[in-house]
Amino acid sequence: MKKTKFIFVTGGVLSSLGKGLAAASIGALLKARGLNVSIQKLDPYLNLDPGTMSPFQHGEVFVTDDGAETDLDLGHYERYLGVPMSRKNTYTAGRIYSIVLNKERQGKYLGGTVQVIPHVTDEVKAAIKSATTPEMDVLLVEIGGTVGDIESQPFLEAIRQLKNDLGKSRCLYIHLTLVPYLKTSGEPKSKPTQHSVKELRSLGIQPDIIMCRSEQALSPELKRKIALFCDVSENAVFSAVDVGNIYEVPLEYHREGIDNKVARLLRLKGEPDIAPWVRLNERLGNPKQEVTIGLVGKYVALGESYKSLHEALTHGGLDNQARVTIRHVNAEDLKPRNLEKHLGGLDGILVPGGFGDRGVEGMILAARYAREKRRPFFGICLGMQCQVIEFARHVAGLPEATSEEFNPKAKDKVIYLMTDWYDHRAERHEKRTAQSDLGGTMRLGSYPCRLAPSSLAFKAYKEPEINERHRHRFEFNNDYLDLMEKSGLKFGGLSPDHTLVEMLELPTKEHPWYLGCQFHPEFKSTPMKPHPLFRDFIKAALAGRPSPTAKN
């Protein structure tokens, strides 16, 4: 049995420095050495998980196969490592405290006083260890937030203790900080990094490696200064410069020698095979075509709300040797009079998931525009439901069609809450959603889907049964299935028991590519293995464009 080694990634100065990308990139480089690697995220906020948080607050909610609603950084982990994450790869302070309080109520502390140390810190350590397996070589653990935040102190104390518990040879601390460049003085400033490391050391953690986010590479003199004031060796201070695209980060870290330093300190064997990352970046940097996709959503004010979608579209472009430009369209801005203005120059239109009725009428307009203009269209989750509503209103003769989510008293609820289905599967469903009352009526995680042999879906996947991740409450109302089919809508994917509509489409003789799915395929797309639906969507969008000019 291997003794897993641990890399703890902390951040200082300010948030959004990119700890998740840093951890994912280091993990990718270690995996490229042939090592068995995984990553865990510890978030200090008190929510049990991000499931009930607004996308404007915390970006997208990423969903794992086992139905965990997680921080978007787990999407980075999966995309860079190419391995699925699970509930064990993410813990919040709320979840840790919930475990501690439940144990106290059950009398498991034998009447003792429950304290942050040792009870909360012990639970954090147990959570970290739970993410390991007997075969795992390295577990990277990203501590959310910024050093100095009051809520992150129990997590930092726990990882401090682990070094004593496991031994110095099995633990490594990496601290990511900011070295700002002041244009007025024409020089980078190391003082924020010095203060951040001082704060970390006051908590008992001496970083082994310091990574400095900056606009420009650090000079040897500046590295020496940081090393001196932060009590690390000069060859343990690295630049983490801004790059053109996020998939350059592993190569930039390798050029800096970060992975080699990690390997030496933890005594890890092997040399990294970075050729796949080199080829990936060559393809990203040398597209033969360009395509513009309109993302019509309700959370477009914050790009992180659709992080996995952005990446999946990029991956779909990679498979077609195309650069994908994403134009965000606020669904609330769409009106019948301005559709051409907002949607006219697009090569394809995508309507993503979401909750609530805000912006839905704009999404329905986008679906109708794409259907009537024969523009490639991809509806995901709520986007698929908008396709159903639009088709029911304007083709199937149900002008009052809507979703039960938007109007529980509507005459034609073509989308509804399928309570019978949830009742029949209550035991499995409750296991997936026990941590969230609002999630109790949601279908979360991976479920199977069987594809019709002649469908666009089967053409994309090239297999009869697939498994995809869900995050929604409402389903297609099967009472309208016959009417919709007679009106021309095709159902290319159903649950194995034929109770749930998973995918719909229009025949290719009527539309070049018009497809909707109830699940979230973007969660399973990686740069090394683009998702087939995004590949075919981009392919269809490119097919409607003029042939590339000679200069391309």
pLDDT in tens, 185-199: 778 999 999 999 999
Tell me how far apart the alpha carbons of residues 410 and 357 are, in angstroms, rounded to a whole number.
14
Tokens representing 171 are 């633990």
Buried b (16+ CB within 10 A) or exposed e, 302-319: eeebbbbbbbbbbbbbbb
Determine the 3-state secondary structure of 517 from DSSP: strand
Find tokens 């539309």 and name the residue.
511
Domains 5-43+108-279 and 287-417+475-543 share a fold: yes
User: What sign has the CA pseudo-torsion 221, 224, 229, 230?
Assistant: positive
Task: Tell me the pLDDT band of 427, cut-offs 50, 70 and 90.
Answer: very low
Rounded to 5°, the CA angle 477-480-482 comes to 130
CA distances from 304 to 58, 62, 301, 309, 311 (A): 8, 11, 9, 10, 11
Residue 550 has pLDDT above 90, yes or no: no
pLDDT of 428 > 50? The answer is no
> Do residues 244 and 282 touch, judged by C-beta distance below 8 A?
no
% of the chain at pLDDT higher than 90: 84
Q: Other CB atoms closer than 10 Å to residue 376's CB: what's the count?
A: 26
Query: Is the confidence at residue 551, as pLDDT, over 50?
Result: no
H/E run at residue 270: none
Interior angle at CA 218, CA 215 and CA 221, nearest 5: 150
The model's pLDDT over 11-31, given as tens digits with 9 standing for 90+, comes to 998 887 889 999 999 999 999
User: Which residue pairs, CB below 8 angstroms and at least 24 apart, start in 126-129?
Assistant: 127/40, 127/42, 127/88, 127/91, 127/96, 128/6, 128/40, 128/42, 128/158, 128/159, 128/162
Q: In the prediction, which pLDDT does 426 show?
A: 42
Task: Average the pLDDT over 94-104 and give the result.
Answer: 96
Mean pLDDT score across all residues of the chain = 92
* Residue 22 CB coordination number (10 Å): 23
pLDDT tens digits, 196-241: 999 999 999 999 999 999 988 999 999 999 999 999 999 999 999 9
Q: For residue 463, what is the DSSP state?
A: S
Residues facing residue 465 across a β-bridge = 450
Answer yes or no: is pLDDT of 423 > 80. no
Q: Which helix (H) or strand (E) holds 471?
A: strand 465-472
H-run or E-run covering 316 = helix 307-319
Q: What local confidence, expressed as pLDDT, does residue 432 receive?
A: 40
pLDDT at 58: 73
Residue 90 CA to residue 278 CA, distance in Å, equals 30
H or E stretch covering 502: strand 501-505
Band of pLDDT at residue 424, cut at 50, 70 and 90: very low
What are residue 16's phi and psi, to 5 degrees? Answer: 65, 30
CA distance 488 to 391: 9
Amino acid 59: pLDDT:
83
Q: Please give the share of the chain, as a percent, with pLDDT higher than 70.
A: 94
399-413: pLDDT as tens digits: 999 999 999 999 999
Note the pLDDT tens digit of each residue in 206-216.
999 999 999 88
Question: Mean pLDDT across the stretch 140-162?
Answer: 95
Confidence at residue 464, expressed as pLDDT on a 0 to 100 scale: 96
We find that the CATH architecture of domain 287-417+475-543 is 3-Layer(aba) Sandwich (3.40)
Instruction: Give Cβ neighbours of residue 431 (< 8 Å, ≥ 6 apart).
Output: none
Answer for the pair 226, 177: CB distance below 8 angstroms, yes or no. no
The model's confidence at residue 552, banded by pLDDT at 50, 70 and 90, is very low
- CA nearest to 470, candidates 428, 502, 435: 502
User: Mean per-residue pLDDT for 142-149?
Assistant: 93
**pTM (predicted TM-score):** 0.92
| pLDDT attached to residue 161 | 97
Q: Say yes or no to pLDDT of 1 above 60.
A: no
Q: Does domain 5-43+108-279 have CATH number 3.50.50.60?
A: no
pLDDT in tens, 509-548: 999 999 999 999 999 999 999 999 999 999 999 997 754 4
For residue range 19-67, list pLDDT tens digits in order. 999 999 999 999 999 999 999 999 999 999 888 887 777 789 999 999 9
The Cα 293–Cα 343 span in angstroms is 9
Domain boundaries, the chain: 5-43+108-279, 287-417+475-543
Structure tokens at 112: 């003792």
Q: Find the range with the poorest average confidence among 315-319, 427-431, 439-443.
A: 427-431
| Positions marked catalytic | 381, 520, 522
